[in-house]
Chain A
Amino acid sequence: MDAPPLCPECDAVVYIPVDAMENELLACAECGSELEIMCLRPLELALAPEVEEDWGE
């Protein structure tokens, strides 16, 4: 059984919806960090980039 995914900020277990997709954004229930699913297999989470100049434009 795979180890549960952990928040890269606070190490809390992060719940991943069964229909999650790559690049989807999630929130850590414990520290509130916004996380991005970088890869589904193997699962890889990263802190989502903070809003910055030109972000999303």
Chain B
Amino acid sequence: MTRVSILGGSGYTGGELLRLLHFHPQVDVAQVTSREQAGRYVHSAHPNLRDVCRLQFVHPDALEAADLLFLALPHGRSARGIERYAALAPKIIDLSADFRLNSAETYRGWYGEAHAAPDWLDQFIYGLPELNRERLRGADFVSGVGCNATAVNLALLPLVASGLLERAAIEIKVGSSEGGNKPNAGSHHPIRSGAVRTYRATRHRHRAEVAMTLGADLPIHFAVTAIEMVRGVHLLAHCQLAKTLTERDIWRLYRGRYRVEPFVRLVSGRVGMHRLPEPRVVAGTNYCDIGFELDADGRHLVVIAALDNLGKGAAGSAVQCLNLMLGYEETTGLHFPGIYP
């Protein structure tokens, strides 16, 4: 059994990690830390885990050595404490944005502050298995992924890899859990309930991850809008193709890229109500569903993707990375469908 601990386990991502890890047959969760909730039972913060997880939160200062540490801390804290954490565990998965980017200069440009541990940046591998699977096998330090960035990256990767994408204009709709569990003015119920509020029309921070993954020179623009949803990311990308294609060409392209991917499903049906991806179908899972519709001119392609921001967009991908890092079957603990309806 692999002994893992979660640093910063009282947030939504920490709770989702716990839910997944408790049913992972090769993992034993040793400690879950919370500065504010030390001493309380984990189910006081994550009521769905009552009688499933009987751990109590411990103060971060009481963290002991483990085989692998998950860092689910607010942005900035992982970098500031990385020396200590690396002394406690030979393997680390950081779910914050601290080690996602490969340059301290880029980090400063997007996050507005100097990186606290720039020497560590090149030791972390970006934790998107669909892109970095071979580098993740046996890796010691892995960064998590941005949820919106993951939707963009997975939706466009086949087009970019084949040189077919000229430009993309993307609208992303997101649920309230993307904002974390700390209240703020935007999460206040009268403001958040019923919202259709575009909070970033340009320069969303995840744009940096997209540039790192798909290329900085490609004109890929995305806006993010908060809607009435708790979990979920819904992406709709208007893509201009470099040449005229048929619907069968698109199927071949996406199938060629994702046929072997256990957590990417192509959803582009001709019949039924659910012909294209929808976030609630993947809620609670590690799936990213991708679909498409080609306009009559064969050059304007609409790509649609859906994932759970706490699942494939955070904790699910992290567990998938754990499996690769430790040599377990990649789908262990993750291969289950969502609920419906």
Contacts and interface: CB of A to CB of B under 8 A. Distances in A.
A41 B308 CA distance: 46
Given A9-B247, A10-B247, A31 B252 contact: no
Contacts of A32: 269-272, 275
B271 A33 contact: yes
A34 B252 contact: no
A16 interface: no
A11 B251 contact: yes
B251 A12 contact: yes
B205 interface: no
B118 to A, nearest CB: 46
B266 A30 contact: yes
A31 B255 contact: no
B272 A10 contact: no
A10 B275 CA distance: 14
Contacts of B271: 27, 32-34
Nearest to A27: B271
Contacts of B268: 10, 31
Contacts of A27: 271
B302 to A, nearest CB: 16
Interface string A1-30: 000000011111000000000000001001
A11 B248 contact: yes
B248 A31 contact: no
Interface in B259-294: 266, 268-272, 275
A11 to B, nearest CB: 5
With a 10 A CB-CB cut-off, give which of A8, A10, A12 has the most chain B CB atoms: A10
B255 A9 contact: no
B252 to A, nearest CB: 6
Contacts of B269: 31-32
A33 B269 CA distance: 7
Contacts of A9: 247-248, 251, 270
A45 to B, nearest CB: 13
B252 A11 contact: yes
Contacts of B255: 11-12
Contacts of B272: 32
B76 to A, nearest CB: 44
Nearest to B252: A11
A9 B247 CA distance: 7
A33 B251 contact: no
Contacts of B275: 32
A11 B254 CA distance: 11
Contacts of B266: 30
A8 B252 CA distance: 12
Nearest to A50: B270
Interface string A40-57: 000000000000000000
17 contacts: A8-B248, A10-B251, A10-B268, A11-B255, A12-B251, A12-B255, A27-B271, A30-B251, A30-B266, A31-B251, A31-B268, A31-B269, A32-B269, A32-B271, A33-B270, A33-B271, A34-B271
Given A10-B247, A32-B269, A33-B270, 16 more contacts: A8-B248, A9-B251, A10-B248, A10-B251, A11-B252, A11-B255, A12-B251, A27-B271, A30-B251, A31-B268, A31-B269, A31-B270, A32-B272, A32-B275, A33-B271, A34-B271
Interface of B: 247-248, 251-252, 255, 266, 268-272, 275
